[in-house]
Amino acid sequence: MTDASEFWDQRFRHHPWPSEPDPLLVHHAQPLPPGRALDMGCGPGRNSMWLARNGWTVTAVDVSTVGLEQAARQAAAEGLAITTAYGDVLAWAPSEASYELVVLANVHLAQADLPGVLERLAAGLVPGGHLFVVGHDLANLGRHGPQDPDLLLTVDRVAAALPPSVDVLRVEQVMRTRDDVTSDHEDDVAVVAWARKPPAG
């Protein structure tokens, strides 16, 4: 078990976690026809559940076995078919290009690690598939989210980290309404990226 596994096991075991999907994911993914989705760093499955409820076939990956167990229990309670898999975002990679949607939501990585992670995840997209990335902006430093500035996002950081294999449709700083019961803040500043692997031919 890694230090990251132990940290997130403790967080998911002892702290309430939001159950509603990230509103920015809903905004971007809702117009898409359902297909196969990868939720990387899924935690207890807030985004995986929403995708599965809306017809997506979901693979949910996380470094926390506690988070994965919570996600599996919730999926079973709702009769949803979600495949859970243990994996560290810093090393895990899709075995083949098989997803119409890849989600990296609120997984905060060191600047040096982000390009490699996004390149591996984008490699899992089928032609025409979409990559969604969202996380706390550096403007949140001292308020909420990670308190290491290297782990927070900026538009420039994310834009520079997106691989050349995708067409970038949007990289923006936005205000995000908070639905996280672990936070005392109603809103936060987020960076959102939406990109697409070019269609075949």
| Residue 29 placed within a domain | yes
Summarised one tens digit per residue, pLDDT across range 98-156 is 999 999 999 999 999 999 999 999 999 999 999 999 999 998 888 767 889 999 999 99
102 found inside a domain = yes
The answer as to whether 201 is a domain residue is: no
181 belongs to a structural domain: yes
Total structural domains within the chain: 1
Buried b (16+ CB within 10 A) or exposed e, 169-189: eebeeeebebebeeeeeeebb
Q: What is the pTM of this model?
A: 0.91
Beta bridge partners, 168, equal 195
Q: Which two tokens stand for residue 160?
A: 């520079």
Mean pLDDT over 175-200 rounds to 75
Please report which confidence band the pLDDT of residue 191 belongs to, taking 50, 70 and 90 as the band edges: very high
Dihedral sign (CA 159, 162, 165, 167): negative
Q: Which domain holds residue 184?
A: 3-196
Task: Give 23's pLDDT tier (boundaries 50, 70, 90).
Answer: very high
CATH number of the domain encompassing residue 93: 3.40.50.150
Residue-level pLDDT at 185? 46
Q: Is pLDDT at 8 greater than 80 in this prediction?
A: no
| Residue in 24, 20, 44 with CA at minimum distance from that of residue 134 | 24
Tokens of 64: 């926390």
Any domain includes 16: yes
pLDDT band for 178, please (50, 70, 90 cuts): low
Q: Decide if 25 is inside a domain.
A: yes
- Over residues 25-82, the pLDDT tens digits come to 999 999 999 999 999 999 999 999 999 999 999 999 999 999 999 999 999 999 998 9
59-70 pLDDT tens trace: 999 999 999 999
pLDDT at 35: 97
